[in-house]
Structure 1
Amino acid sequence: MDDHKDTGLAVIVVEDEDAIREEVCDYLSRHGFSVRGVADGGGLERMLQDAPADVIVLDLGLPHEDGIEIAKRLRRQRISIGIVVTTARSRVEDRILGYETGADVYLVKPVNYAELAAVIAALKRHRDQRPAADQGPAEMAWQLDLATWRLMTPTGAAMRLTRAEMKVMDLLSRTPGAPVMRHLIGRHMGKSDQLRDHRYVDQLVSRLRRKVITELGWEAPIGSAQGEGYFVPGSFHRLGEPTGPL
């Protein structure tokens, strides 16, 4: 067995293929997680009644009830639980739907187990760092430093953005709280209005969301606007001035 420190995190893996479920559970157990496995949504509900969990690793292609519906119910009933979707559905439209229905992270199979373990740990760190209710919502303190190309969490952790990521965040943060349509983001990125360039925008946002969770342990402050565009919270802050063209 691997010599990994106990993380104290309770994880439930929902996967109907026995071999995959056992493999994921074994890997996560050897890396310090307390793991249980189940084959469908009904089993998940019974398992949660027996003992709570910090993170659910949820396959979408399940018998009896689709994983999308399970994610919706989990998010309604247990708003603070982490949801990591794993699926063979790789279309941009599927990933957008997954995020809009409650997933924190969307991983396309075959899943890299090391990345899965890192994502689970990051989700828990994010929830542990959330401020108390009387301190105001966490999203109020997100900041974008225009001079250094850094995105900063409410606790001051910072992440360097690439040029493409910075261009997206720069545009969204100019009108905080208001959605920016996908074709306008594409134009800002120097793309056309064609469908393939809309998909480029979706893929870029999806990668950025995952990068924020992996590097900072926070859910990215980027919301989806009815599948048509993206936005940042209304009081998202911009700092400084760009030192040159993006």
Structure 2
Amino acid sequence: MQVYAIGDIHGHLDLLQAVHDLIARDRAANACMDAPIIHIGDLVDRGPDSPGVLRYLRDGIARGENWQVLMGNHDRLLLNFIRMPEWHDPGLRSGLDYLHPAIGGRATLQSYGVTALHDVDMARAEAAALVPQADLDFIASRPRMIDMGAQLFVHAGLRPGVPLDQQSEHDLLWIRDPFLLDRRDHGPLVVHGHTALPRACHYRNRLNIDSSAAYGGPLSAVVLEERKAWLLTPQGRAELVPA
């Protein structure tokens, strides 16, 4: 069975449409038109068109496309910024909030028409009025993990040694070193994003497909068969050889 996956989008609708075009060509060339496409999360923040990304994905799923979309930590940040005023994400270090320049939430709020970015409470009130309920509901309903048998898709990674049914949402959305430094086999190949790299990279037990679209890099689309993976390029498939 072939499965496609797309890395962290971060509000770049143009890049998302371009990699969907690459997938469409690969599907046609390899007679796998019904193969699922999994989006690894971080749909919003930092890029110029988070509303367009959410609308594009919602519309595609509504018309019956075989797309699945995970929640990323940035998606939860937007959702809870609006819905839970007193909440502070434990993944953010002290002194950071959704409006901090390092987070990228300002770009998302501006793309929805929010102007009061100098004040958290005013920005939240504007966002509550301007962000469509359909976008918030879409984010809230995203799964945190997708198990495809040979591959397991999560946004950030897994807590090593913890059974899948006991993994915390915080780790699935935020974990880094305890997962990234662990070389043990997890059973399925863990396909994730969250930790930006210059390019997608296969580590035998995991595959990181966040190729830094948030910072001016490309958006990666890969196709997987069991534990093998290929990066999709305009010239065709390029195998990602395990490091």
TM-score class, shorter: under 0.3
The alignment's TM-score, normalised by the length of structure 2, stands at 0.28
The alignment's TM-score, normalised by the length of structure 1, stands at 0.27
Higher relative contact order (CA 8 A, sep 6+): 2
